[in-house]
A and B are shown apart, each in its own frame.
Chain A
Amino acid sequence: MTGNPSLHLWLIPLLPFLGFLLNGLLGRHLPKALVSTIALLFTAAPLALVAGIALRFRSLPLPYIERTAMPWIITSAFRADFAFMLDPLTLVMLLVVTGVGFLIHIYSVGYMAHEEGYWRYFAYLNLFMFFMLILVLAENFLWMFVGWEGVGLASYLLIGFYFLRESAASAGIKAFLLNRIGDFGFLLAMFLMIAHFGSLSFNRVFTAIAEHPQMQGGFLTAIALLLLLGATGKSAQIPLYVWLPDAMEGPTPVSALIHAATMVTAGVYMIVRSHTLFDRSPFALGVVAVIGAATALFAATVGMVQTDIKRVLAYSTISQLGYMFLACGAAAYSAAIFHLVTHAFFKGLLFLAAGSVIHALGGQQDMRAMGGLRKATPVTFWTMSAAVFAIAGLPPFSGFFSKDEILYQTFLSPTAGPILWLVGLVTVLLTAFYMFRLWYLTFFGASRAEPGHEHPHESPWVMLVPLILLAVLSVAGGWIGIPRALGGNDQFAHFLDPVLSPPSPPSYEQIRITMNEQGVARAAEASTPQAPARPAGNDNQERLFSVLSVVMALAGWFMADLLYRRKPAMAHQLAQRAGGAYGLLLHKYWIDQLYNALIVVPLLFLTRYLLWGAVDSGIINGGGSAAAGTVRGLGALVQRVQSGNIRSYAGWLAIGAAALLLLTYFGFSMHV
């Protein structure tokens, strides 16, 4: 393509797949040490490859596209390749997926050490890495969809890892089904793209859009909204978010990797990847922003009252993903990806630390039975504190920079605006509140542990090292994108500029440079501004916004401090005083029950009585029975001929001969 030596991008996803095959096929018979060695090796290798690419990234011609020799699907009107693409956005995602993925693999070695099905766990985890890397590296929507479905599969398998527990099995099914709804939207969006562009290749589709400035709204809005439906499924946004809290039935490292750091951010990645499309449809962007803001606020309120440590984190994840969607909706894509990265660090860390806490208490997940763990598990405490401060958005931790960027961009954006900014700001307060609540309930005060677990123990080092590394990233991860107003120079945004900068993505034009010069001229002509105009902010304003959000976060911290450290009784009083609202939050706004009543029950009714009772039992089964009955009746009739009586056979023979004779006679006479 470019004459450069091949980067062998295909190796990156394939290596974890080999690990999956080895562990999946042979793992049952291998010792645990070998299983974990295989799993770690085949996760470390892609990390090394990605790191190698990152080191010489500046010297690479971008975007770099790699196709396998064989096309995948080829028809007269449509073609799809096994194509991989590398550009700054891909690189960021690759680093997050392989880096955090590798750390969580290490952690899992310690966490899962005493579990049944050790090999199965690591096989699934490697399978997940395989699909996630395909999703990130794919160069067309179809290939991306393969990864998209595959991570859903891996997620399903891992949520239902303890499949003997019914709640885990049904949580897996729930996640899978809700994701199907989203995938349905993704599929329809792809069909529309094939219909309008004749291709699913990112390059082709986005170039086609860039070349036709007159394309605004219309079918692009339809495609964008359908893609958004897909993203809400995968990234657990309203209305399809309900699977994520239940997904906590899986092992905790899985929650960290799949349901916090990587897979659930796939929706954000997909929207950012197809931002050219979204840019042309302000309406779709507005919908994205509203969904994001609503989800952020909604999930944060639910997270405030949950007592299961993992559920708090699950709702927090939904809420933070809402922030990312809000950023996407504000067309601040680099802010979305920035938050995706920092979120991968601190939320991965939060889950791993929560896992360490659960481990220390022998499987206890209820925060009401925790407390006072600061002394017993110092490393877990300090690392988790870093994550808590990061997610709460206190400077100079990573979450502060990314969240601030999102809020500021939201305020400026014409598609989002001040109202959504206010929602985001309130969510900052709630976020700080529920995170510090978790922090106080878990680590401070007197121990409320159940008998038998009064002496919690710190986790082994194999679990603590990933915690420490992630803690460092949670603290410092944000420094790559310090905005200009705060003394940095927006490095992260500049790094992503080639992919995201409006008007038309010049990166896609670069391929055309290598292909033919005329194409460039044409593309250059066509490049017109398309993103909704964004008023430029000034530095002072940005600083003011930062101060505001820090004040909100501190207020949240203060409230949590008041309610859960200084006056623990007050929390109960408050809960009783606001009984209705508290109950509403505690039961997650009854959304599960609402969905159950509105969708599941009618659907089951329809299935059981109409489809099963009438169609299946009546028509399909009945048709079969009728056919069988007819044949049986005929058989009973004809059976009588086979009497076993020789003379009756002879009689039939004679009758047959006579009949033939008559037939011959009259047959001939008729013709003659």
Chain B
Amino acid sequence: MLHLQSTPDRIEPASGRPAVEDNARVFQILPLITDARSQGEVISLFREAVVGLGADAGYFLSCLRDDATRTSFRSFWACDPAWPAEYAAQRWFEHDPWLRYASCDAEPTRASFLTCSSPEENAFIRAAAEHGFASALIAPAPSSVGLSRVGVLCLGSADPERFEGESYPRVRVLARALAMELHHSIAISMREELLRGTSLTEADLHLLRCEAAGQSSKVIGAAMNLEAKTIDSRFQRVNAKLGAPDRRTAVRIARLYGLLQG
């Protein structure tokens, strides 16, 4: 059952008409993103911010390298619906030059300033241009865990000159803030999803904290008045819950998802 809000700021795909900038509204939206209680609300705010920044389209992609065997991409899309479908079908995340840029630089930039390093990246740029990203502003969202978690906000416009004007410095600052807020929002939702999916207990988290502190099973067991083998068994269960091959990886995952904070 749908209860749709009126959305006068809907983005028409690759409309070509000039978007109306409302930077003040974007400034109001930014703190609301963290407080949003659902992903639907976050995307609606994101969509409104994209319009407020004078863009026609936008997407935010967060890349989390869980361990040696897993990489998770989470994304919010406020653009022509055909673009996310094509992004998934063509596996563009493997050749996304904007994501690559965000992995090695933290400064917002314009797509026109980036050089493609492969034919696939050139193909990506052509495909993106067909879906409202003829010009694009790229705002990386770095994290405290370096390359293990990287986010990138891509704002696009059908107008090739959209991000070349005088307003660029202002839009750049707001885009950076928006990228960080979206990254934070995604990090929170991923953490909650992991906690729900794995049903980790406080005792499990305590074990992981001990491991993160560099304590061996013997030391942990002595503190808890348990045998080292018992601690090993508990770690095996924690590893299985997190899908980790070993306890060092389990700690890595727990730290990446912010489970060991506090």
Q: Do A and B bind each other?
A: no
